A and B are shown apart, each in its own frame.
Chain A
Amino acid sequence: MSFGGLATSISTRARVVLQRSTEATVAARAARAAAKAKDRKEAASRGSLNPRYELMKNILFYREPRSLPALNSEDMERHLTILRAQSITKKAASDRRKAERNRKFAAMVSAYEALEKADPRLYEEACKQESNITFPRQMRVPTETPPIKIWDYLDNDK
């Protein structure tokens, strides 16, 4: 899929940093100057002890909501195609995960049934519910890159 011949590659970190609002062109900069004046005017009109706080409140709560720029029919078609493709891939991935979860659960149910037939004492022990189960603190959430010390081999206590 081509995007107008542009091949700018942005690192993941840059993308995260720049995902917030920003301005792109001189036209936008002119709009910025005008909007800045408008912000200050609105803040002043509301009146307060600290105009800077009023300015911040104006930025956070009183700005116009965002909308897509005016697209021609081809751009709109491309946009809708991308949206549709994304929903299809997301649904496919979600279905795969769901199917895997269901297979795991079915294996567990089958194991409990087999255990009940094979050894009722063990089955009873297995069915006991433990209260206040918590996850161990050492269980780590995956990150984009690994830590400097990837794994603890418990070599300290010797």
Chain B
Amino acid sequence: MFRRSLVSQCAQGMRCFSTSSKVAGAAVRAGVVLQRDPIVTQPINGFDAIADKYFAWLEYITADRFPRDLFFKQGSSNEKSWIEQEKVRAAEWYFDPSSKPKERARNKLQVESDGSEEMPLKSAREQTVKVQPRETPADAAGDVRSLERKLERTLYLVIKDKSGQWVFPQGEVQDQEPLHEAARRNLKNACGGKISAWTVGRGPVGHHQASDYTTFFIKGHILAGQASPAKPIASDFKWVTREEVESLVSADYWKSVKDMLSSN
């Protein structure tokens, strides 16, 4: 995937690098960009919603004859609810109104439906399913520490470090420790052991150059649990969207991290 530089290709054979050859003042820190992935799909808005409706209707009017006798038992409740839905669909017409097919007296259809005004009966299965709202109480309260806020967006974990800055969880890399293990350890130290996370791969997705150290970020997905900030390292935490990260972190930090974050 990556073209290895000549330096590293040589290193494979020569193995002449040691810790003492590190560039002075380039101390490395390992951080985690921990994200809670979206739980609900993005809403379809504006033109896309209307276009979907138009094409669905187009498919409807050009569709093959529905073999009703094959699907429904005559006089069954399923057939009745289908006929009710058909009546609603029959009223739709998105072409020139003058080209709409004329509706003659539909005596047979009315007889079939018993002229009932009530809504079509739901099947037993439909009655037991209760659809949950996309907006949660956390949304209403604006609880930025909650993982149940903004279900259609990606949320990122930011913590308040010792100096009061909002950053991604990060810390030092110990001797002989790979980057991804250091990142996991630092996340645990900062946010407690009650996070079940999947860190992606062994390498960084981004980096931030501070004055005396460089932080390399490993991408992680939180699968379960919640952050509980450990006081000396992290005094507070938030789960925020990409725009909210921009408003929290310093301008310099934002410049480094903005390309790592998803806009969805």
Contacts and interface: CB of A to CB of B under 8 A. Distances in A.
Contacts, number: 264
B225 interface: yes
Contact of B54 (A20, A59, A82, A135): A82
Interface string B34-48: 000111110000011
Contacts of B88: 8, 10, 14
Contacts of A113: 5
A71 B96 CA distance: 9
B156 to A, nearest CB: 14
A122 B99 contact: no
Interface in B47-92: 47-48, 50-54, 56, 58-70, 82, 85-86, 88-92
Contacts of A44: none
Contacts of B125: none
A146 to B, nearest CB: 5
A69 B41 contact: no
B131 A22 contact: no
Contact of B51 (A86, A128, A140, A154): A86
Given A10-B53, A24-B90, A154-B194, A118 B214 contact: yes
A122 B28 contact: yes
A146 B64 contact: no
A112 B217 CA distance: 11
Interface of A: 1, 3-6, 8, 10, 14-15, 17-29, 31-32, 35-36, 39, 55-56, 59, 63, 66-69, 71-72, 74-75, 78, 82, 85-86, 89, 96, 100, 103-104, 106-128, 130, 133, 135-136, 138-140, 142-148, 150-154
Contact of B94 (A4, A85, A151): A4
Nearest to B94: A3
B251 interface: no
Contacts of A56: 70
Contacts of A74: 96
A145 B132 contact: yes
A111 B204 contact: yes
